[in-house]
Structure 1
């Protein structure tokens, strides 16, 4: 399998997707060549059968030695029997290569997503990225598999059949070269008329999917207001549209299948009759076996040509998925850490020198309004600084600057005297923990969530962190204690329990810098009290930045920074700011700051 970094070396954007596919399969090119060879041998009965059938018929009709009959049957039986082991070998060679390619691309996509900036992730939805990792790669895998299986089969039949016809009955070769593509083209023209109807049906099914999602999301509202009948009537209208569209599509598919079947069989009868007359009158020395062979090849080669033409949508969809994955693999917005100073120790001192940050508004390289401007502040190691202000004042932007998710667009931000633009932020974040408003847990046990990224942490360390986070008392009551699975996003726990596990996760890391972003805003009074006690233990001795709307949660901070329109309005302790009667007092009294 390709290395995790290997697939990123290729120039995906602007590169033809076929060249990209060749690049992705470079490590398995010998296996793929062997797969083509094995497939050609295992698939040979399809194009050898008409020839062997012709030999058997001629043996019977012309009363040739019976040994020819046994020889023909023996050859056919042999190539049929070796199909099974050859097919298994083919699957191992081809499908193994495809799976390895898909795994390598998914690994490369996940690696790239970890490297891309937070700004990129804020613009591109998680659903889109998930689709690229799961569906797009699956589409590429299916394209290669279908094209190899179906396309190779059609190509070997075409080449094998035309070679046999050219050797056995060369007079008919020009006829096949004209009639087969013409018949296949006509069948494809009939099929293309179905495309718009397939599109209509797909759109109706997508609308049905959206309606079902909407219905399930609104179940509580619907039931609370007694609107079940209205919801079902709305769904029934959508279901009737899907039913009508589906029936129309089924009728058209049936018509196409019948017309194609009639046309190909009429063509086959006409060709059979013509070749039989040629044999009957002794023209070109055509034998009865040749007549059967030519008739069989007409159907086989026409079907193969139609199959090849029908692969175009599959290939087109697969190549588009290659381009889609390339959009992530070559996205330029990377967090640059290469060659920068690795952080081995953090005391926790921060100095903001006239820091400003302006977000790109995404239009023609222009810039939007400044989220933070002329922000100047010195934070001592171990100090707790609270950021307060109305929504949009710039508090979250300051936190993102401290975490290193974004860089100052003006001014400088220093960590322990070093400009953060010169530091490897990945190594810096080993000394940092974030407790966000939304408790982020994954499907796993309590132990796995608390010790996430701390493989060396034992049960004693986990239990100590849970105790300090006021979480041990409820964890011990869980059915399996530390081994209890918390559910998707911690769905089996209450909000307060989830937040205390997040605090335990922060405690076990023993960070030097702590970010508390609305850590208690979504909790009830009892849960907030327990979480506040845990946070008090967590904050002790650490440089802490706190953002909170509830001013009661920040009154114990060493300093409170009041922000307005991206700038600092005033700084002081809780009592100092209230005594001034300024912006903080207005916020405290619930008035506009």
Structure 2
């Protein structure tokens, strides 16, 4: 039976208790879980029936009772033992399927949420931390549910069955047995808060360490080039020591918890066993020798059940903390708002910035009163010193951020009213560093597109000046480029990025320092490809090199988030203003 992943899961977490969140996650499998529980009760019954049957057999032997009772008890027990195997397989299939579907739904919800969260959120939260939540935290939740079901359900069934048998056969001893449960509950209540605090602290230390490892692997080329291996290892070792200290504190706390619970419960068991023996010895109550053996066995079994339940407390605490960790993403409010807004069906390419401004939190505006009209097919170059606001303008254009003042119009329509996801189908970005994933050249160029024929793919690669080097690779289009395109040169990666943009035939194109990291030969090939790419499209380009911007229809000079000059290359040079002063920098 297939259970579709619910598309509303990422909206159901609203800071509620993690147990309620788990209940929501398992809602599609309620029937399967109920059936699994019933099966478990039957298959687990020998554990708590064994002391009763042992007492029955012992009394028959000592008192020379009817032999039929002995065979009857033995037959019942053998039947339950024999059917345990098929019942257990059925139980595992039902429970395991439910847990796996829950984990899949949770990971799917996290991945969807990560796609919907704003670029600002991803800039603030380390990617390694998010990976830990998707992989490690969901695994912790799965393990918690699995172990709680197997061990916790077994302990509860044994505890309940044992108390029922005692209540029926020797009700005088039931109150004594019931002392174990509230005593254990008190112990759990006293330690639960400290366990939760230690689990949360340990989880955050591991997330921080994961972040450090991610940074270390990213910086390995720089580290090796400058001989900074010792400094890099020193940073990681510092985080490792913090993880070690937090883990040891957590282990010590768990050890104290389990040891104190075990000692207390077994002391109670010894006292109760001695008491039942004395009662039977002096004939104070109608207790048979079989009852004494049964009570003794039940104390061992029930004490083990309560100890198991107490031992689950750290596992449950860790799992619930993982649910809270996942909830930090599922309830993150920093979403890109697209729901209910008009989809973009076609784009001609006219962009109007109308007094648009943007400020990051309480900082001064990165862009202030930015006004510009880009006509369809026009190429606009943005220049200026670092921090002038060029990248912020591009982020506003792409829709990664929304203007805090003013507005941006797409073909005369305010972009605040549009579904930016549909708008981006008509937009392509060629960044300074081409982002490739570990797959084939074919997969990277056609990423997200279906039904692309071979000729269209080859034409895009040819126009991007990439087909020649691709055909020279051992596997051609099916050559695996390695993680982040590690097996390709910078110029080759950039030409693949241009091919990726060409094959989408965008109406609006963003070039963000697309040639700044290339050598002269690679730049020449990329420039030829860019000339084909920009033809007939509205283009926004940020670059420092003169060769990239001098052919733009208009060059916009920015300072401190504002437009200070605008015109063609020749017009701005003739003015002798800020653009003319920037020329030595653009030639560098």
Q: Sort the TM-score into its range (normalised by shorter chain).
A: 0.7 to 0.9
Instruction: Tell me whether 1:154 sits opposite 2:155 in the alignment.
Output: yes
> Counterpart in 1 of 2:179?
178
Structure 1 regions of 5+ residues with no counterpart? 362-366
Q: 1:439 aligns with which of 418, 427, 434?
A: 434
Q: Secondary structure at the match of 2:356?
A: strand
> Counterpart in 2 of 1:15?
16
Structure 2 regions of 5+ residues with no counterpart? none
- Separation (CA, whole Å) in 2 of partners of 1:129 and 1:210: 9
> Counterpart in 2 of 1:295?
296
Change (3 A) 1:338 1:177: closer
Q: Secondary structure at the match of 1:516?
A: strand
Q: 1:396 aligns with which of 378, 391, 414?
A: 391
Change (3 A) 1:292 1:191: farther
Q: Secondary structure at the match of 1:353?
A: strand
Once the two structures are superposed, residues 172-211 of structure 1 have per-residue CA deviations (whole angstroms, 9 ceiling, x without a partner) of 1122122565478679999999999999999999999899
Instruction: Tell me whether 1:584 sits opposite 2:586 in the alignment.
Output: no
Contact map agreement 2:195 2:317 (CA 8 A) in 1: no
> Counterpart in 2 of 1:469?
464
Instruction: Tell me whether 1:379 sits opposite 2:374 in the alignment.
Output: yes
Change (3 A) 1:193 1:287: farther
Instruction: Tell me whether 1:420 sits opposite 2:415 in the alignment.
Output: yes
- Alignment of structure 1 residues 55-454 onto 2, 5 Å: 55-179=56-180, 181-182=182-183, 268-359=269-360, 361=361, 367-454=362-449
Change (3 A) 1:497 1:202: same
Once the two structures are superposed, residues 278-330 of structure 1 have per-residue CA deviations (whole angstroms, 9 ceiling, x without a partner) of 33343322222211111111122122223223333333333333333333333
Structure 1 stretch 99-108 or stretch 46-55: which is displaced more?
99-108
- Separation (CA, whole Å) in 2 of partners of 1:519 and 1:58: 90
Q: How big is the shift at 1:82? A: 1.4
Q: Secondary structure at the match of 2:285?
A: helix
Q: How big is the shift at 1:24? A: 2.4
Aligned residues: 584
Q: How big is the shift at 1:475? A: 1.2
Change (3 A) 1:497 1:238: closer
Contact map agreement 2:129 2:210 (CA 8 A) in 1: no
What TM-score do you get using the length of structure 2 for normalisation? Answer: 0.87
Contact map agreement 2:269 2:303 (CA 8 A) in 1: no
Q: Secondary structure at the match of 1:283?
A: coil
- Separation (CA, whole Å) in 1 of partners of 2:96 and 2:528: 56
Q: How big is the shift at 1:432? A: 0.9
Once the two structures are superposed, residues 398-421 of structure 1 have per-residue CA deviations (whole angstroms, 9 ceiling, x without a partner) of 112221222223333222222222
Once the two structures are superposed, residues 20-42 of structure 1 have per-residue CA deviations (whole angstroms, 9 ceiling, x without a partner) of 32222222222221121111111
Change (3 A) 1:195 1:460: closer
> Counterpart in 2 of 1:544?
539
Q: How big is the shift at 1:223? A: 7.0
Q: Secondary structure at the match of 2:363?
A: strand
Once the two structures are superposed, residues 247-275 of structure 1 have per-residue CA deviations (whole angstroms, 9 ceiling, x without a partner) of 99999999998887777666655544443
- Separation (CA, whole Å) in 2 of partners of 1:218 and 1:9: 36
> Counterpart in 2 of 1:6?
8
Q: How big is the shift at 1:216? A: 7.0
Q: How big is the shift at 1:230? A: 9.7
Q: How big is the shift at 1:447? A: 0.7
- Separation (CA, whole Å) in 1 of partners of 2:344 and 2:44: 61
Contact map agreement 1:337 1:423 (CA 8 A) in 2: yes
- Alignment of structure 1 residues 506-517 onto 2, 5 Å: 506-517=501-512
Once the two structures are superposed, residues 498-527 of structure 1 have per-residue CA deviations (whole angstroms, 9 ceiling, x without a partner) of 111111110001111110011112222222
- Separation (CA, whole Å) in 1 of partners of 2:316 and 2:258: 23
> Counterpart in 2 of 1:563?
558
What TM-score do you get using the length of structure 1 for normalisation? Answer: 0.86
- Separation (CA, whole Å) in 2 of partners of 1:541 and 1:275: 95
Instruction: Tell me whether 1:39 sits opposite 2:45 in the alignment.
Output: no
Q: How big is the shift at 1:215? A: 7.9
> Counterpart in 2 of 1:364?
none
Q: CA RMSD in A?
A: 3.8
> Counterpart in 1 of 2:474?
479
- Alignment of structure 1 residues 453-464 onto 2, 5 Å: 453-464=448-459
Once the two structures are superposed, residues 132-166 of structure 1 have per-residue CA deviations (whole angstroms, 9 ceiling, x without a partner) of 33233333222222222222112111111111011
- Separation (CA, whole Å) in 1 of partners of 2:571 and 2:322: 60
Contact map agreement 1:180 1:298 (CA 8 A) in 2: no
Once the two structures are superposed, residues 385-434 of structure 1 have per-residue CA deviations (whole angstroms, 9 ceiling, x without a partner) of 11011111111111122212222233332222222223332222111111
